[in-house]
A = this chain, B = another copy of it.
């Protein structure tokens, strides 16, 4: 693991997610740019002292020289955005598969280089767009794919958070500080941090691709370095229209990602904060409440579920589904087998490229007086 030292939020989440199924073991780390913190964090995690490294270069070099049976199988990168690209490239160059926290890099260009490198090496890059790991999201995707709703006509996705309602970045919140700093976070704040999740979720479930955007990005809290709020009108490649709202100044909201998709025959609605329920709506028939863990669900939903219905699964389990599918894919490849579609159902480098393109397109659209902006890859 690169990054993710003490008190870093997302590093701990990655470790729990990797631990849950007992299929992945944390063996080494360059857990902080501060060697003292890196050392202490490694000790806390019971790492062997000689596998606690000072930085990612050391980690990748040293591990690549270990014998195969001792060497790690993949590297997880949980640093701020600006420190994704270099370690990922180096890891791939040294033959390691990679897990990266989203967004994949600082720019579309970097993302494309990673895509090229993945193609050349045949290695696997996993991007942790967690929300597509929920069982009910899998169910939603499957129902759309099966044509249950007919042609998709409209997508409404909103992602309101409230934690940047004040200048949190100046109150000692490290996560807020780098996320609002263009050098560390990239060209967009809110749209990069959470807008990309919303866009990925919309495309994942619908199977459609965004083809045009009309964006309004805002810096609502005075003195902030990057957008903390934005609204985007969308067109999809099948002609459907949509709206994506992402904001971090919605005071009182937690992490309220919601999506509604409508087709000719019905629609669906899913809320991340009550993730085990998928509301399915029909023309002229009562809506149905699909629930995690039930026998009537698709294989895709069942494959990504651990406990029986009524025992709520949450964010960590969704995250763990991404790790598990990634681990199953690696194991299959190590065993010379072809991973199944179910194993391959985790976000990859292509999602990273689309995510960076989303950021660059909405930033460009926002800067333009023209209404519609073609989505460019």
Contacts and interface: CB of A to CB of B under 8 A. Distances in A.
A313 B274 CA distance: 10
A313 B17 CA distance: 12
A328 B290 CA distance: 38
Interface string A285-328: 11111110111100000000011111111111100000000000
A74 to B, nearest CB: 18
Given A16-B20, A158-B156, A312-B315, A287 B285 contact: no
Contacts of A12: 306
B218 A241 contact: yes
A225 interface: no
B286 A296 contact: yes
A169 to B, nearest CB: 16
A50 interface: no
Interface stretch (A81-89, A200-208, A243-251, A356-364): A243-251
A369 to B, nearest CB: 5
A97 interface: no
Contacts of A264: 165, 251
Interface stretch (A106-114, A181-189, A253-261, A338-346): A253-261
Contact of A156 (B245, B279, B370): B245
A288 B21 CA distance: 34
Interface in A16-62: 16, 19-22, 26, 45-46
A249 B262 contact: yes
Interface stretch (A64-72, A115-123, A265-273): A265-273
Contact of A294 (B9, B241, B286, B313): B286
Contacts of A253: 262, 267, 281, 310
A94 interface: no
Contact of A316 (B149, B296, B307): B307
Contacts of A290: 286
A286 B266 CA distance: 16
A165 B256 CA distance: 28
Contacts of A241: 216, 218, 220, 229, 231
17 contacts: A9-B308, A20-B316, A22-B26, A153-B249, A154-B250, A156-B158, A162-B267, A162-B281, A218-B241, A233-B233, A250-B262, A254-B293, A286-B288, A286-B291, A316-B317, A368-B371, A370-B371
Interface of A: 9, 12-13, 15-16, 19-22, 26, 45-46, 149, 153-154, 156, 158, 160-162, 165-166, 214, 216, 218, 220, 229, 231, 233, 241-243, 245, 247, 249-256, 260, 262-267, 272-276, 279-291, 293-296, 306-317, 368-372
**Which 3 pairs across A and B sit closest by C-beta, in order of nearness?**
A252-B281, A255-B310, A254-B310
